[in-house]
Amino acid sequence: MAGVNRLGAATSPYLLQHADNPVDWWEWGPEAFAEARRRNVPILLSVGYAACHWCHVMAHESFEDEATAAYLNEHFVSIKVDREERPDVDAVYMQATTAMTGQGGWPMTVVMDHEGAPFFAGTYLPDQPRHGSPSFTQVLRALSGAWADRGDDVRRTAASVAEHLRKDASLPAYALTAERIDGAVATLAGEFDPLAGGFGGAPKFPPTMVLEFLRRYRGDSVQQARHMLARTVAAMAGSGMYDQVGGGFARYAVDRGWVVPHFEKMLYDNAQLLGLYARLGNELGHRIATETADFMIRELRTAEGGFASALDADSPAEPGGHAEEGLFYAWTPDQLAAVLGPTDGAWAAELFGVTDEGTFEHGMSTLQLRHHPQDEADRARLADVRRRLLAAREQRPRPARDDKVVAAWNGLAISGLVDAARRLDRPDYLAAAVDAAELLERLHLRDGRILRVSRDGRAGAHAGVLEDYGCVASGFLALAQASADGRWLRLATGLLDTALAGFAAPDGGFFDTSADAEVLVTRPRDPGDNASPSGFSSLVHALVEAHALTGEGRYRDAAEAALATVSVLADKAPRFAGWSLAAAVTMLDGPLEVAVVGPAGPERDALVAKALTLPGAVVVATDQPEQTGIALLTGRTPVDGRPAAYVCRGFVCERPVTEPDGIG
């Protein structure tokens, strides 16, 4: 018997996946809390996202089960939340989950009182007892019984947890000096995996923001930083985490050696990695950036011009069959031979590390490319093999796509595409970035504020959080640099002004939600980066870039004050402060501001290309500097009719140069 379908009109594909469950789901909102008070039952909060493998498993085992649903419907009010749509709700209860259990993850399962104070938290809960742990139903019965029999104790526990979550979030502030940045590199070196690249053991996530910090770093340990960078980008590019057939990266590897990924492909990962590899400026970087951008445009671009959030980890074994993780991407030697023929099949199996035993499951292997062919004939053969495998793979049942457009992640996509467009001479990438930016402007911007998501050309109701403001502003600023169009600069600074007014914390940092946002158990605030930049670090980068283009000192002052509040995190756990450290390095260097003026053509292109090799530099070029509305360009002129580059720090410029070698 189906539950009440309150999710059918949701913009979230994750909520829509659960719309026909027998569970009587509610969306997050005051109506659900009022219903729990009316019935005097606790609230069960289930948080996940559409591409989450274990979310699918728990849904199949428990939320689609009639008996489990009947118990939930009788004894709880059940709320379903998409963490990507409501990162504020997710952040608050993930903080509670990690505090109560020592770990986090999705699906996240929280039980709380009528004020939203949690008294139980966990992640995936199986339908049967395992390894001494209770089943989901056993947990539900125990919690319902405690609520009925020891309600006062339960509410005291919940109030205590809520008070812990509300504790003073002020952060000590001191400058991120060159010496402290050197110390962060030393700490990272102690956590570096010299054999496989990356940091720490399994599971291993792409440390994109840390790698950009190491790319920009120019201190005493620069050789060590460059080694960690080069080893890791090469390892990831050749790994099973990278889609060797279709391009693009999976979310993480389950093993230390990057062999087997968790197969979901997220926009935020690929957008950031696209930009990182494009900025490397070498053959490997150009190849991976091109393949990743092509993947994003081919498989994640929406009909409206934005970019979808993710591709699922799972795909059906056959049309209508039960979904299994990774089947779309893994191969056996026989499958390769069936597509390529025995000779090319055997060659591809050896090149990609596909074995008879398999490196994954069911005798299948992920594809790895640890040694890219150097011989031209072998490269041509590889390109032909990839083309044929991609065509054959298109006939397999495809993973589902979460096609909601998240503002922050589209901001990251815009930035990554602009980086690739400018460095790889790909105007089509720039056009795709403009399309995504115009979608954000058209659907997501309302009176200077951002809406978090849209889907099928319809904006959702949820307010943007700090990362939306920071990432979208950075995307607009990237377009302002690439196009010298002051429109994008005006949109970006409008967002920054709104963020400074609504998200500022008394100590100089930022909250993750606006001062007028929905009041939760606590106001979330986390300056640490995770798989994507924190709202804090993304906003700092946007502030630094805005100052470089406008000369507005208030943007630099806000960035400096904010960076001081992240110093403790940068000292103790630099793996979670990589994007802030990258901004700090840029600020120590100036940042470098490069204005290139003069007629378009090879000479100007050469100046821009050289300027883009300067780590963290803001580079803008035009033949009409006075008409752009960009202060960095104002008053700049060509030299003897030739394009000229002005290299500046704080709008104090060196003599203009007309040759690329003069830029340094």
> Using one digit for the tens of pLDDT, what is the confidence trace for 531-541?
999 999 999 99
* Interval 385-422: pLDDT, tens: 999 999 999 999 999 999 999 999 999 999 999 999 99
pLDDT at 166: 84
pLDDT for 23: 96
267 in Cβ contact with 300 (< 8 Å): yes
531: Cβ contacts below 8 Å, ≥ 6 apart: 205, 251, 252, 266, 268, 269
Asked whether residue 9 carries a pLDDT value surpassing 90, the answer given is no
Provide the pLDDT for residue 171: 74
Give yes or no for a cis peptide into 194 (omega within 30° of 0). no
* 189: confidence class by pLDDT, cuts 50, 70, 90: very high
Express each pLDDT in 470-529 by its tens digit: 999 999 999 999 999 999 999 999 999 999 999 999 999 999 999 999 999 999 999 999
pLDDT digits (tens, 9 = 90+) for 96-138: 999 899 889 999 999 999 999 999 999 999 888 887 788 999 9
- The predicted pLDDT at position 321 comes to 61
pLDDT reported for residue 319? 59
CA atoms of 18 and 29, how far apart (whole Å): 17
pLDDT in tens, 231-276: 999 999 999 999 999 999 999 999 999 999 999 999 999 999 999 9
Question: Distances from the Cα of 109 to the Cαs of 45, 105, 325, 499, in angstroms?
Answer: 6, 10, 22, 31
pLDDT in tens, 324-374: 889 999 999 999 999 999 999 999 999 999 999 999 999 999 999 999 999
User: Does the structure show a pLDDT above 90 at 590?
Assistant: no
Residue 322 has a pLDDT of 67
Compare 214 and 131 and report the one with higher pLDDT. Answer: 214
Mean pLDDT of the chain: 94
pLDDT at 28 > cutoff 90: yes
256, burial (CB in 10 Å: exposed 0-12, middle 13-18, buried 19+): middle
Q: Is 169 a residue whose pLDDT tops 70?
A: no
Q: 412-436 burial, b if ≥16 CB within 10 A, otherwise e?
A: bbbbbbbbbbbbeebeebbebbbbb
pLDDT of 491: 98
d(CA 487, CA 549): 13
Task: Provide the pLDDT for residue 317.
Answer: 67
List pLDDT tens digits, range 68-92: 999 999 999 999 999 999 999 999 9
Q: What is the mean pLDDT of residues 45-73?
A: 93
The reported pLDDT for the residue numbered 3 is 64
Tens digit of pLDDT for each residue in 430-448?
999 999 999 999 999 998 8
The overall pTM is greater than 0.85? yes
| Mean pLDDT score, 304-325 | 83
User: Is residue 271 within 8 Å of 367, Cβ to Cβ?
Assistant: no
Integer Cα distance of 221 and 649 in angstroms: 24
Pairing of strands 449-450, 445-446: antiparallel
pLDDT category of residue 93 using cuts at 50, 70 and 90: very high
Q: Is the pLDDT of residue 1 over 60?
A: no
**Per-residue pLDDT at 589 exceeds 90:** no
Identify the pLDDT of residue 646: 97
With a cut of 70, say whether residue 168 has pLDDT above it: no
Per-residue pLDDT at 353: 97
pLDDT band at 172 (very low <50, low <70, confident <90, very high): confident
Percentage of the chain modeled with pLDDT above 70: 98
d(CA 146, CA 181): 50
Mean pLDDT, residues 638-661 taken together = 95
Residue 130 confidence (pLDDT): 83
Check: CB of residue 88 under 8 Å from CB of residue 350. Answer: no
Q: Taking residues 202-209, what's their average pLDDT?
A: 96
Distance CA 82, CA 623 (A): 47
